[in-house]
Amino acid sequence: MLKLPRTIRLDPSDTFVFERAAEPGEWAVSGAFVFWNQDPAVLAQKQRVALRSGFLGIESLGWSTLAIVTEATEAERQSVVARLAGQLLAKFGAPDMEAARAAAEEEVAFAASLCDHPEQTLLAVQRSIEDGEIRERFRTLKPREAAGDGDRLHAYARAFTFHKVEGDDETAEEVDLLRLMEADRVSGRRK
C-alpha cells in the first residue's frame, strides 16, 4: 500500500508562524530543498521557522508544522510528482522539465519513505544546520487508543489520564470550595 504525507492544521498557529501556511490536506514533501544554498542568518524570522519545522505543501508552496500519513493511489503519486515538477520548473529554477521531474521523483520518494507508519500517524520535522548542511530529524505522533466507554465523537476526548503512584503515602489535602465561598460571603456582609 502506497502512503504519502498530507498537510494538516490542528489549530491556526501555522497561519501566524509561517510566511505562507499550507492549506490543510495538500500533498506534502519535506521541503528542505527550498533552503538549499541559503544562509540561515539572512532569513527572516518566519522563514527560519519554516526551515526549522515545516513541511512544504506542493500546491500552495506553503508550510505546515505537521503532516499526516495518508493512503495514496499510484495515480495520485504520479499527480504529486507532476505538480511538484511543475513548481520546481516555474518557481525554483530547474533547468528543464526532465531535471524537474527527476528531482520531484526523488522528493516524493523521500516523502513516501517517511510514511512507513499506520495511517493517521502525525509527522513532525526538526531541522538544523550542522557542518554547513541541513539535517532533518522526524518524529511521529500516533493516534491515542480509543476509550472503550466513549461514543464515536468522544472516544478520544480524554485529555488527561490518572495513574496510581506506588509508594505515595502522603495524605491528600482536601479543600471544601463551597464552604470557603460561603465564608467569604458571610465575612463580606460583616464589613
For position 143, what pLDDT does the model report?
A: 66
Q: How many helices (H) and strands (E) does the chain have?
A: 5, 7
**Res 177: pLDDT:** 59
What mean pLDDT comes out for the span 42-57? 95
In this predicted structure, which of 3-17, 21-35, 145-159 has the lowest mean pLDDT?
A: 145-159
What integer pLDDT is reported at residue 40 of this predicted model?
84
- Around Cβ 84, how many Cβ atoms within 10 Å? 26
Chain-centroid distance of CA 12 in Å reads 12
C-alpha cell recorded at residue 3: 502512503
Strands 3-8 and 66-71, sheet pairing: antiparallel
pLDDT for res 184: 61
pLDDT at 180: 64
- 71 contact partners, CB below 8 Å, separation of at least 6: 1, 2, 3, 119
pLDDT value of position 62: 97
User: Using 50, 70 and 90 to split pLDDT, how confident is the model at 141?
Assistant: confident
pLDDT above 80 for 130: yes
Q: How confident is the model at residue 146 (pLDDT cuts 50, 70, 90)?
A: low
**Secondary structure (3-state) at 99:** helix
**Type of residue at 48:** R
* Per-domain boundaries in the chain: 3-141
